[in-house]
Amino acid sequence: MVIGNLLFCHDAIARCLFLEDRLMDLGPKLKRACDDALHKAKMAWKSGDSETAAANFEAASKTMFKYAEYAQSRSMEYARKRKAIEYRDFARRLREVGIEAPAGKAKLPTPPSSNVDEDARHESVAGETDKSISEAVSALVHTSTITWDDIGGLEETKRDIKYTLGLSLAKPPEGVKITTFRNMLFYGPPGTGKTLLAAATSNSLKVTTEGQALFFNVKVSGVLSKYFGESSKIISEIYGAARDNSPSVVFLDEFESLTSNRDGGEQTGAERRILSTILAELDGLAEKGRSDIFVLTIAATNRPWEIDAAVMSRFEKQILIPLPDEETRQAILEIQLFKKGYQIDFELHELIDDTEGYSGREIERLCKQATSQMIGELNVDLPELIDRGLAATRGYQVKVRPLTLADFERAKTYIKPVTSPAEMQRYLDWSVEAD
């Protein structure tokens, strides 16, 4: 009997030890898997294969999220999650901007080495955080020069926004309580003008009201990756400052990063805090009964389906910003070509047809590619002029010619649309479901 018990105990202890052993083992394994994926991602990126690079950055991100669970302290966990978010966002940028992204613009995230955890130790020095929060918040205040005219097409959407602003700012009749929108969500494929619309909104507030109107331009993934554990404090601070400076606009870009359950596992305490803070702010809890305070929240996302349902229900207006239709493409092409002084030797409608499926950003890049090819061709001697000195270069007249359809055909081999018809359909289906 005694021996039987002993044997049982031994067995149980052995099993425990074995389990612990496995758990202990997993941390370094995850770290190695993450490094491995990162290495592959970077190699692919350097060789111009953004698709493989993005897939590997995503894999690195997932592994890093898992690795964060093995952290021995909160700050270490946050540091690892910040890295994970950084990788995921880089993958997203790669997909959105594509292979031809100028290498200088997109910076590679540094690989996670043991100093991920060292970083965490440095950053969690008490006292530092409060100062950095107010600094972070003031850095988000933004003035914009974008006007409604800079945005091609989207006439109905522009009208919708202006109407909402007008109704919220104008004087209601005596004794009449008019309910206005406070929260708007723009969703749709990348590069379709969501950020532009928010910028124009803030700009028009500045012009139409005396006093200051503040525009907080919050790139959510940036805040999350920089201040993971403090993100909910930053959100509260932003809304506090927005209320003090009413009327103001809080623009939450890449909104899905704020409220979605990124790694598919349990939410951390920090994530839960962010969610409840954002819910309270969207409900306007802090300004109940104060009709003189107007804070408009505009959230933008490429992935509405990732947003938490409770958060989603707070947006009275959910506006799909689709890939540009004919009219919008025409307006964008006019902005990108004619407003910049270029000429074409064909009918514009041909190019309007040829750019179906392209986002506004892609049309912009296509025009840039075509014009710079044309200029490059006609001005091959420029580098030599530099050798001959400043005077010679300044005296040189840059040559241009009208653009041809062939110029655009060539540009199209470099710039291809990222949003497929099937993906566009997903947005449309989602909007039907959400109704």
Ligand X SMILES: Nc1ncnc2c1ncn2[C@@H]1O[C@H](COP(=O)(O)OP(=O)(O)O)[C@@H](O)[C@H]1O
Give me the residues that bind ligand X (CB under 6 A), please. Answer: 151-154, 190-196, 300, 328, 332, 335, 360-361, 364
| Binding-site partner at residue 364 among Mg ion, ligand X, none, CB < 5 to 8 Å by type | ligand X
- Residues present in the chain in total: 435
The minimum distance between CB 255 and ligand X, in angstroms, equals: 11
Nearest-angstrom CA–CA distance, 56 and 79: 20
360 or 417: CB nearest ligand X: 360
Pairing of the two strands 183-187 and 214-219 = unpaired
> Tell me, what amino acid is at 272?
R
79 or 299: CB nearest Mg ion: 299
59 or 331: CB nearest ligand X: 331
| Binding-site partner at residue 112 among ligand X, Mg ion, none, CB < 5 to 8 Å by type | none
Dig out the tokens for 231 from the structure: 């993100």
Q: What residue is closest to Mg ion based on CB?
A: 195
| Binding-site partner at residue 219 among ligand X, Mg ion, none, CB < 5 to 8 Å by type | none
The minimum distance between CB 96 and ligand X, in angstroms, equals: 7
CA distances from 318 to 157, 346, 430 (A): 11, 39, 11
| Binding-site partner at residue 193 among ligand X, Mg ion, none, CB < 5 to 8 Å by type | ligand X
| Binding-site partner at residue 192 among ligand X, Mg ion, none, CB < 5 to 8 Å by type | ligand X
- Report yes or no: 26 and 70 within 8 Å, Cβ to Cβ: yes
Q: What residue is closest to ligand X based on CB?
A: 360
| Binding-site partner at residue 304 among ligand X, Mg ion, none, CB < 5 to 8 Å by type | none
Nearest-angstrom CA–CA distance, 300 and 319: 10
| Binding-site partner at residue 335 among ligand X, Mg ion, none, CB < 5 to 8 Å by type | ligand X
The minimum distance between CB 427 and ligand X, in angstroms, equals: 12
- Report yes or no: 308 and 260 within 8 Å, Cβ to Cβ: yes
Which residues have a Cβ under 8 Å from the Cβ of 276 and sit 6 or more positions away? 232
The minimum distance between CB 140 and ligand X, in angstroms, equals: 17
Residue 340 belongs to what H/E stretch? none
112 or 324: CB nearest Mg ion: 324
Dig out the tokens for 90 from the structure: 């880089």
The minimum distance between CB 302 and ligand X, in angstroms, equals: 7
The minimum distance between CB 377 and ligand X, in angstroms, equals: 24
The minimum distance between CB 241 and Mg ion, in angstroms, equals: 22
- Report yes or no: 180 and 168 within 8 Å, Cβ to Cβ: yes
50 or 195: CB nearest Mg ion: 195
* DSSP category for residue 183: E
The minimum distance between CB 264 and Mg ion, in angstroms, equals: 25
The minimum distance between CB 300 and Mg ion, in angstroms, equals: 6
| Binding-site partner at residue 284 among Mg ion, ligand X, none, CB < 5 to 8 Å by type | none
* Backbone angles phi and psi of 72, in degrees to 5: -95, -5
Cis link prior to 324 (omega < 30° from 0)?
no
Identify which of 273, 226, 218, 244 has the alpha carbon closest to the alpha carbon of residue 129. 226
- Report yes or no: 221 and 85 within 8 Å, Cβ to Cβ: yes
Count of residues that bind Mg ion according to CB under 5 A: 1
120 or 258: CB nearest ligand X: 258
- Report yes or no: 218 and 265 within 8 Å, Cβ to Cβ: no
182 or 361: CB nearest Mg ion: 361
Residue 335: how many CB atoms within 10 A of its CB?
A: 18
Residue 316: how many CB atoms within 10 A of its CB?
A: 14
34 or 97: CB nearest Mg ion: 97
Site for Mg ion in 177-206 (CB under 5 A): 195
33 or 154: CB nearest ligand X: 154
The minimum distance between CB 302 and Mg ion, in angstroms, equals: 8
List the x/- string, 145-184, binding to Mg ion by CB under 5 A.
Answer: ----------------------------------------
Q: Count Cα neighbours of 369 within 13 Å in the Cβ-side half-sphere.
A: 21
Q: Count Cα neighbours of 254 within 13 Å in the Cβ-side half-sphere.
A: 18
| Binding-site partner at residue 153 among ligand X, Mg ion, none, CB < 5 to 8 Å by type | ligand X
Helix axes 405-414, 360-378, angle to 10 degrees: 120
Confirm or reject binding of residue 419 to Mg ion (CB under 5 A): no
Nearest-angstrom CA–CA distance, 406 and 411: 9
| Binding-site partner at residue 242 among Mg ion, ligand X, none, CB < 5 to 8 Å by type | none
Q: Note the residues at the interface with Mg ion (CB under 5 A).
A: 195
